[in-house]
Amino acid sequence: MTQLSNSISRSQVEQLVRQALSQQLGAGPAAAPSSAPNPLVVNISARHIHLSQEHLEVLFGKGAELEVQKDLYQEGYFAATQTVAVVGPRRRMIPNVRVLGPCRGDTQVELAFTDTISLGLDVPIRISGDLKGTPGCVLMGPKGVVELEFGVIRAARHVHMSPADCAYYGCSNGDNLHLRIESAGCTTVLEDVVVRENPEVKLEVHIDTDEGNAVDLDHATSVKLYVPESCKCKHS
């Protein structure tokens, strides 16, 4: 058995674990699909809002709770029956923006690029939860109004992965992968798909409405997630 010194780095340990799991799970993305630990799912994440409990009660009344309309692909998450209007500068508005549950610590509005143009907002691309320095907006519900000082983002395209998924694809949390989507007449590679590793998630890529329409995801015949050469070098 190979002896590991006390000075071995965490990245080296992760690499050894990936190599061991890869031998058990298959050679990698080029292997037969059956060798992958989980099926690859790509979903469009339409404009939506995550509310704090405080803001939920302002918008929908004291003691309000989110009501489940539909469960999402990730366990424990759902689209609620509640919707709110998002108002930008000069009172430009997008009505009926869906609230997703459960509630969070900070309210967060996730929009596509065309949505931000419609509202007249200059919105950065961020990973969910990274809200520092983001613009705000006004939220209108049936019982009240919330003026957000920050919290509006364009969600970075990302992929939820378990440790087994990361081992199979040869990546780790925070890496940027490529997603190849084959559709008739518009095969496209989307770069900078951020890895979000969590042992409790299913393998799922999220892209926004603009991206989904551009690649004609509804008629895609094949999707493939892979590590770009620059990222492979980092782990070698």
Q: Give the number of domains in the chain.
A: 2
Is residue 29 included in any domain, yes or no?
A: no
Reduce the secondary structure of 144-158 to three states and give it as a string: CEEECCCCEEEECCE
Q: Are residues 83 and 177 in the same domain?
A: no
List all residues 6 or more positions away from 54 whose beta carbon is below 8 Å from its beta carbon. none
Q: Are residues 200 and 164 in the same domain?
A: yes
Q: Are residues 72 and 168 in the same domain?
A: no
Range of the domain at 96: 46-155
pTM: 0.81
User: How high is the pLDDT of residue 231?
Assistant: 57
Q: Are residues 89 and 143 in the same domain?
A: yes
CA–CA dist 153, 76 (Å, integer): 23
Is residue 10 included in any domain, yes or no?
A: no
| pLDDT tens, per residue, the chain with 236 residues | 334 344 445 444 455 444 444 444 333 333 334 478 999 999 999 999 999 999 999 999 999 999 999 999 999 999 999 999 999 998 899 999 999 999 999 999 999 999 999 999 999 999 999 999 999 999 999 999 999 999 999 999 999 999 999 999 999 999 999 999 998 888 999 999 999 999 999 999 999 999 999 999 999 999 999 999 865 545 54
Q: Are residues 150 and 55 in the same domain?
A: yes
Within 10 A of 114 (CB to CB), how many other CB atoms are there?
13
Is residue 172 included in any domain, yes or no?
A: yes
Is residue 13 included in any domain, yes or no?
A: no
CA–CA dist 202, 77 (Å, integer): 12
Q: Are residues 130 and 57 in the same domain?
A: yes
Type of residue found at 54:
E
How is residue 49 annotated by DSSP? E
Is residue 7 included in any domain, yes or no?
A: no
User: How high is the pLDDT of residue 58?
Assistant: 98
Is residue 222 included in any domain, yes or no?
A: yes
- Domain of residue 208, CATH code: 2.40.40.20
Is residue 6 included in any domain, yes or no?
A: no
Is residue 199 included in any domain, yes or no?
A: yes
